[in-house]
A and B are shown apart, each in its own frame.
Chain A
Amino acid sequence: MKGAKVVERMNERSEEMATEVTNLILYGIYKVLGAGARGLGNSIGEELLHAMMEEYGLNFEGSGDPQELLNRFTDVMINTFGFAERGEIDVEGNRVTLKLDNPMDLHALQLLEKKGMKPVLYPMANAIAVAIKKFSGKNVLIKDIRVHDRHVEVEMLILG
C-alpha cells in the first residue's frame, strides 16, 4: 500500500495541548531515569538560560551578587515568561527557598507524585543555579523540590 495524505491545520494552535505534551514527555523521562533525571538538570538549566539571554535578549551581566541575580531572574520568570502567577524568594544565610504559585509545570509535578515519583529537577531553578555560577562563580545545589496543591517550593543551597 502506498499513498500520501496532507492535513492542514484549521484551528488555532492549542498552547494548553502543547504544555500537556511537554508534561507527558517530562513524565516519560522520569519514569525511565528516575533519580537519573536529576543529572539532566544542569544541562537543561544551561540551555534555558542561554535561550533567555540570546533569544529574548535578557541581560544578567553586571549582577554578581547571588541575591540580586535571584531577584532579577524571578522577576523575568514571572513578568516576562508568565511561568507562574507569583514568585517569592526567602533567603536564610546560604539557604534559598523559591516559592512559585501555580507554575506552568504544576500539573506534571503533581502527576509524578501521584505515581510515586519524587520530582528531582526543576528547570527554572536549574537555570537560576547556572546564572549564579556564571555571574558570581558560586555553586548552587538544589536540595529539595516540594509540590503542594497550588504551589511549588524549591530549596537551594549556595556554596561558598
Chain B
Amino acid sequence: MSKNVTQLHRRQFLKTSLSASAVFAAPMIIPSSALGLDGAVPPSERVVVGGIGIGNRGTYDLGCFLEQKDVQFVAVCDIKEKQRIAIKKRADDHNKNENCATYRDFRELLDRKDIDAVLIATGPNWHCTAAMQAAKAGKDMYCEKPCTKNIAQSVILKDTIRRTGRVFQAGTQRRNLPHFAFACELARTGKLGKLKKVFAHPAGMQAMMSGWLIPETEPNAEVVDWNLYLGPAAWRPFNAKLLDGFNFEKGGGLVGGGVLEWGSHCVDLCQWAVNDVPAPIEYDPPKNGQLVARYADGVELIFRETGWIPLGSCPVRFEGETGWVETGDSGKLVLSSPTLLAGRTVAEIAEYPATFHVRDFLDCVKSRSQPKGNAEAACNAHIACHAANIALHLGRQVKLDPKTNEFINDEQANRLRSEALREPWRL
C-alpha cells in the first residue's frame, strides 16, 4: 500500500459535529423544529405511510420509518398472508393500537386518500410498476432498488415522477452516509484534479435470469397470491423457489445480476461523483474481470470485481489527475493524501442505518424538495447498469445516446431496452 495513503478508521472520526455538516451539502430541508417536530407531532405534520411488499429488507426500512416521530404507519400490503400478519403486528405494537390495515392488492392501499407516502419494498420485479402506480395515485414513495428492470422503465419512471410532482426516494441509502458523501464530494468538486476514472464493484458480473421452474401446487391466493406476485412479469407456473423476491425477475428476467443489484448502489455513487450527469455513452464488453464504460467527457466508469482495498462491501473508488479516494461499507476512507481532507476531519456516525435516508425522504415529502436518491439520479444510475448488462449479455461494445437513451445504430441492443409487461400492467 502506498506510503502516502491515509486511512481513516471509523473510530478515528469525530462524532457528527458542526464541522461535519460543513463538509457535506445539507439536505434542503426546513429544520424539524420549524415544523413542530421537536416534541409531539401535530397531526397536520404527520406523514401517513403505507407499506407495499414488506419482506426482509422492507422490515428493516419499516423500522427506519417507525423511528421517525412524524410517521404514522397505517397499512400494509403483501401478497403473503404471513407477512401481512407479521407487519400488522409490528405496526400495531409500535402504534399501540390495532389499526394497521392489511391488503393483498396494493391498489386498494393506493386508493386510500389518507395515505401520503408508501414504502415499496417488494421484489425488484414490482418496483417500477408499483412506483408508477403510486405516483399516479398521488403518493410519494420510498422505493427499494433496483428500481427498474430495463432502460425504458428507467426513462418512463423519471418522466412520470416529474410529471406527477411526486417525491421519489430510491433505496440508495449510501447517498446519505457521510463517508460516501465525502468521497463523492471530493470527486465532484475537483479536489482530485480532473476526474479520470470512477470504479464500481458489481459483486458478480454476470447477467442472470429467473426461470420457469417445475410447477408446484399453487397455494390459496389468500395465503400466497401468485398472480399478484408475478404481477408485471411474464407468466410462469407457481414454484415456491421463485418466491425469493430478491432474485426474481430483476432486470426484466433477462439481465440483472450483480451489475444491477450492486450497481444500483455503487454505480449510483459513481454517478454522484460525476455530478449526476447522464449515463455513460460507451460500454465495452468485460475483459479480465473489468467492464469499462465511458462518459461523454471521457471519464471512465469501471465495473471491476477485484483489486479493491478491503473496505467492506459496495466499495467505490474515484481517481483524478492529482488524487484518489476509495471507500466502502466499512465506513473507512483511504485517500491518496491527507491533504484531501482540506484541513477537515471527517465525522462519521457509529452505525449507518438507512434512517437518515428515510429522514431525507420525509423532509422532502414536506418541503417538496428533491431527496438525495431522487428519480432523476437513481434512474440515470440504473440506465448505466442496464446498458452495461446489455454489453455483458451481447459480449460486445454498445453505444448509448444520452439524450434519447437509445443505442446508436444497434437494433439488437435497442431490443433489450424494454420488455412487455404482463396484462393488465402497464407503465
A in complex with B: no
B residues in contact (CB < 8 Å) with A? none
